[in-house]
Structure 1
């Protein structure tokens, strides 16, 4: 595998954000129109942040989607087949090297075989990698983008509960994971948290629902200080304490925890830490909950040089994910000149 300078932090300038359009065969079927309305809001927010959108969609729906998008949108529709829309977990990551930026993929098996993901696992090689200047590099390890967080110094974060699920990589040890992340992603340091989990989370505790870096040695943490009687309080307090012990030089920005349940009264894993950094903006999930305003305030303190853009995501959490989970940024100097040119032409279909 090509040696990476590093997995590129999310706050580096991005030319595009990849999404996958909800269709009738995805788990969005019961909320399809509401989910699509949220995607249109995300597309507009990404465009307003100065990035285009690469939108994976079913081939027969491309023209209909094109008609739904505003005339001024910058969206490249990429027809293809896929199981679901969690682009963060199967879309390619981007690393830098002396030769330039290149896409990297891990294997994806539906978070340890919980869901069929055979088509998702082929999406990079079949549809997405061809948009890039340099060839796709493949690591055979099963790992999801939502399980990995990195800063500009190559410090990578993940969680033990996720990595040690034996249905991902058998008895692979944390030391073996660390070695792979150093080799494949150029990580200079790896911290794997032992604490923290949200009820209803299918991912086994992805770090992007729990702890996120800021460019200024900050940690944005999905805490529970506002709910001392909540079932999450002890675990999330232990996570904050672990962050203080293992990353003492980092200032903590603690988010409040909302309480959301579905129609069956099951707790939903609503996380304000599941935000997307897009150039000078932070797209922040909100859920029509009393904690929304406090969460926005915390994020503004954590990212004082960014514009915080609330995006209503209550429908996304019905399927146990949120804004970061559905998106994957593509840094500048990654896409081909042809793709960049097409992204400037409004709404178009790739190859047409």
Structure 2
């Protein structure tokens, strides 16, 4: 399964100190076209927030978009533009995850097939071959389908995921629970694995990624997307059942419940606007908001869940039009993963690196 000799590895939790975050610029050949100007403005705001959180931005960009990127992103931004081809911008699900090993930090990739063959992902699935050239250690490849948004892990090697995603037959056929456990133990160092049966947001193409539903905090607590504020909402029963599963699995853990907005697109279709789709980034938590009445309460609850972090609200009302949010468009890289000369390139402003 591995493209190189594999060492014992442990997936790093999101609150491990980070040196970079990978995002992919919305391009004209993607589904962002109807919202392209607003989406790009959101990315510019995100780059500024990531730099403020003391990380370099690795910005994937098609060669045709280099000019527009340089005209919109501040020249002083700590951003390394990497010209490459990709289908869309959901880097959480196709960029490598980072594990600790005896060799140091190791990039580990899985196959990506467009969330169960829903969308073309042929270019996305090749991105890591180029990105791994930026890393100190070689890329480890596992030939099962798994997206980064489908897994969540803490500092105690406790991993959680969802059955609706993992057991979609268009991902890994009839792969069993025991086989998934083996993969999570071998490639991610998981010691306790929880696969939850409940919880799904209308409009979510991922089949219920855990990063839209429930997240760990560094203080042994859980943040979850709840519907406590909407007891008559069609989501209420499933999310309440997920809460019960979480309470059974993590007895003694405080659970911080986030309110649920009722956000619709211009056709009146429900959008999967999740406040749980935040990014922990060093001493900050970048929190998605949607210009909804629940935004302020969600930020206040996140501050209670992360008392040692600064909560930074990022307007994701455009991003959610494509059925994802902030965590979905980012992938963090912990410190000591990238080659020092790569990081140095972006320390004095926007730079371009050909892979």
* TM-score bucket of the superposed structures, by smaller chain: over 0.9
Q: Give the unaligned 5+ runs of structure 2.
A: none
**Deviation of 1:174 (Å):** 1.6
Does structure 2 retain, via aligned residues, the 8 Å contact 1:3–1:186?
no
2:225 counterpart residue number: 222
Contact (CA 8 Å) 2:198, 2:241: kept in 1 or not? Answer: yes
CA distance in 2, matches of 1:271, 1:327: 15
1:192 aligns with 2:195: yes
The answer to whether the aligner puts 1:26 opposite 2:30 as a matched pair is: yes
Equivalent residues in 2 for 1:15-54, closer than 5 Å? 15-54=19-58
Whether 2:67 is the aligned partner of 1:63: answer yes
Instruction: Name the structure 2 match of 1:333.
Output: 336
Structure 2 Cα separation of the partners of residues 214 and 246 of structure 1: 15
Instruction: Show the counterpart of 2:147.
Output: 144
CA contact under 8 A between 1:157 and 1:192: conserved in structure 2? Answer: yes
Runs (4 or more) in structure 1 with deviation over 3 Å come to none
Q: What are the Cα deviations for residues 194-220 of structure 1, in whole angstroms up to 9, with x where unaligned?
A: 110000100000000000000010100
Residue 222 (structure 2) pairs with residue 237 (structure 1): no
Find the counterpart in structure 1 of residue 263 from structure 2: 260
Q: Which runs of 5+ in 1 are unaligned?
A: none
Distance in 1 of aligned mates of 2:40 and 2:19:
23
Would you say the 8 A contact 2:7–2:103 is kept in 1? no
Cα RMSD (Å)? 1.0
Could you tell me how far apart the structure 2 residues matched to 1:148 and 1:98 are? Answer: 23
C-alpha distance in 2 between matches for 1:62 and 1:279: 29
Verify: 1:161 aligned to 2:186, yes or no: no
Q: CA deviation at 1:3?
A: 2.9
TM-score by structure 2 length?
Answer: 0.97
Tell me how far apart the structure 1 counterparts of residues 125 and 33 of structure 2 sit (CA, whole Å): 21
2:320 aligned counterpart, secondary structure: helix
Question: What secondary structure is seen at the aligned counterpart in 1 of 2:329?
Answer: coil
Structure-2 residue corresponding to 1:171: 174
Q: Is the 8 A contact 2:260 2:294 kept in 1?
A: yes
Secondary structure at the aligned position of 1:64 is classed as helix
Residue 344 of structure 1 corresponds to which residue in structure 2? 347
1:81 and 2:85 matched: yes
Aligned partners of 2:111 and 2:142 also within 8 Å? yes
Name the counterpart of 2:107.
103
Matching residue of 1:283: 286
Residue number among 112, 119, 136 corresponding to 1:115 in the alignment: 119
What's the CA shift for 1:345?
Answer: 2.2
What is the deviation of 1:343? 2.1
